[in-house]
Amino acid sequence: MLRTEMPYSRARAGLRRLLPAMAAATLCWGVAAQGAGAQTLTVWDDNALPSQAKVITDINAKFEADHPGVKIARTARTFDDLSMTLKLTLSTGEGPVVTKANQGAQEMGAMVKQKLLLPIDAYIKQYGWDKKQSDSVLARDRWSDKGEFGVGPTYGISALGELVGLYYNAKVLKDAGIDKPPASLDELAKDVETLKAKGAVPFTIGLTKGHMALHMYAALSQAMIGAADRKGLDDLVYGRGGSWNTPGNLAAAKQIQDWANGGAFNDGYQGIADDDAVQLFVGGQGAFQVTGTWRLGDMQTNPDIHFMALPPAAGVKDPLVVGGVEIAWTITALAKDKKTQDLAGDYINYLLSDDAASAWAAAGYLPVAALEHPDKVQIPPLLGETIKVWNGVNAANALGHYPDWASPTMLKTLSDGLTQVIAKQETPEAFIGVVDKDYQGYMASLKK
C-alpha cells in the first residue's frame, strides 16, 4: 500500500507548448497526436521507490520500442499522494488514461460510482488475463452499479502480488540468543521480551509517514483468523455487513499499545517516516519489521533479513495474511475513443506479460502470476522465501484483506485512531468503537 515519492518529468506541459491547439485539446484525455499514427499515453503509478522506478522505466522503454510512435508520459506518486489527487484530477477532465488505483471503497468504489473508470472485462477476455489470475483475485477489482464490492464489472487488474508479513533479522535474533523465528504470536511476544532484556530493538517502525502501524494492526488481527473462519472478515471488507467489534481486533489494538508503551519500538519512532524505518532496519537496527513485500527491493540488500507470514495465534490453522495484490492498473474515462482504450489495454497487457513479470522478479519483487520460464530468471533468495509464503497462503485460501478497503473513510479512521491508541490518548475499546461507527455509517448510506 505504501510508496515513497520520487519525482519524474511531467511531459504534458512541454507537449502543450509544442503541439497545435487541436492536439493540445486532446491532451486532456491523456493521449496526444504526435504525427501520423503517433500517440502519447499518460500514466500515473506508485512505483516510486528507486528499485521499483528502475523496473517500470525499463518496462515502459521496451513497450515504446515495440510500439513505434507511442510515448509513455509517466508520473510517479506516493500511495498517499495518488489517493489524494487522482479522483479530484479525473473529475476535472484532466489526468491519466492509465493509472494505479486502490481497490477499496474510498478510491476505486468512489470513482466507479462517478463513472471515472472504464470496465476492462473485454480486455480480460481478449488477452486471457483470467487464465493468469484466479477469479477470487480479480473479484477485488469488481464493483456493481449498486456500489457492491466484489461483484459486477471488473475495473482493474494487478501485476504484482502483495503480502504484509514479518521481516526478521536472523543475526539480531541470534545475538540475543534466539535461534529461530517465532512460530506463534505467543512466541513472538516472548521474543520481544528477550530482545528487550538483551538491549536489542524488537520492532523498527516509523509513524510520521506511511501506514506501518495500520499494517501491524491488520497483520496481528488477521493472524487470529483461520482460513476456515474468514467469512466474517470477507463480509466486512466486501460491504456485506457485520461488526468490527471482535475479540481479535480488540486484542490487536491492545498488543500494539502495550508494545509501543513497553519499549518494544525503536527510539524516536514517533518522528520517523516509514522509509527511514526501513533503512534503519536494513542497516541492522531491529529484529523485526512488519511491512509489505513492496519493500523486498530494499530488504534484499541485507542477507541477514528474511520474510515470513506473521505467526498465528494459538489454535489458529492457516491464519489469514494481509494482502493479495498491489493496487490495480485501471483505464480511466479519459480514454474517450476505442483507439485510446485499445492502446491502454495493450499497455496493461504488457505490464502483465511474462517479460514484465520476469523483470520484477529479477529485481526482487513478487509477480502475481507464476513465471512461465522461472529457470531463466535469477530469483533473489529473499524473493524465493516470499514466493513459498505466497504459494502456501494461496493454497490455503488464506489471503486476507487491507481493512481500509471497507469504507471510503476507513483509511483515515484507522490511521488516526491507531496514532491515538499508541500515544495512549484513546483506549483500544474506544478505537474499535470508532472504527465500527465509521463502518456502520457507510453501510447505512448504501441503503439510502
Are the C-beta atoms of 182 and 191 separated by less than 8 Å?
Answer: yes
pLDDT tens track for 101-139: 999 888 999 999 999 999 999 999 999 999 988 888 899
Segments of 63-171 assigned E as strands: 70-76, 98-101, 142-143, 149-154, 161-169
Query: Helix (H, G, I), strand (E, B), or coil: what is residue 34?
Result: coil
Instruction: Mention every residue, 6+ apart, whose C-beta is less than 8 A from residue 383.
Output: 296, 300, 361, 364, 365, 366
Task: Mark the ranges of the chain whose per-residue pLDDT is less than 50.
Answer: 1-36
Q: Specify the pLDDT at position 442.
A: 94
Are the C-beta atoms of 428 and 250 separated by less than 8 Å?
Answer: yes
Q: Specify the pLDDT at position 4.
A: 36
Q: Specify the pLDDT at position 33.
A: 38
Helix (H) or strand (E) holding 348: helix 338-351
Q: Specify the pLDDT at position 25.
A: 33
- Grid coordinates representing 130 are 483470467
Are the C-beta atoms of 81 and 48 separated by less than 8 Å?
Answer: no
Q: Specify the pLDDT at position 386.
A: 95
Q: At residue 305, what is the residue type?
A: I
Are the C-beta atoms of 77 and 11 separated by less than 8 Å?
Answer: no
Overall size of the chain counted in residues: 448
Can you tell me the distance from the alpha carbon of 162 to that of 325, in angstroms, rounded to the nearest whole number?
5
- Grid coordinates representing 60 are 515502459
Can you tell me the distance from the alpha carbon of 321 to that of 312, in angstroms, rounded to the nearest whole number?
10
Can you tell me the distance from the alpha carbon of 126 to that of 322, in angstroms, rounded to the nearest whole number?
31
In 342-374, which positions are buried (b, 16+ CB within 10 angstroms) versus exposed (e)? ebbbbbbbbbbbbebbbbbbebbbbbbbebeee
Q: Specify the pLDDT at position 9.
A: 32
Helix (H) or strand (E) holding 125: helix 121-127
Looking up cell 488516526 gives 416
Which has the closest alpha carbon to 393: 325, 299, 314?
325
Looking up cell 511531467 gives 10
Q: Specify the pLDDT at position 27.
A: 32
Q: Specify the pLDDT at position 136.
A: 82
Q: Specify the pLDDT at position 326.
A: 92
pLDDT tens track for 338-354: 999 999 999 999 999 99
Instruction: Mention every residue, 6+ apart, whose C-beta is less than 8 A from residue 177.
Output: 194, 198
Kindly tell me the number of DSSP H helices and DSSP E strands found in the chain.
19, 11
Q: Specify the pLDDT at position 37.
A: 59
| Cα 199 versus chain centre, distance | 33
Residue 396: CA atoms inside 13 Å, Cβ hemisphere, count?
22
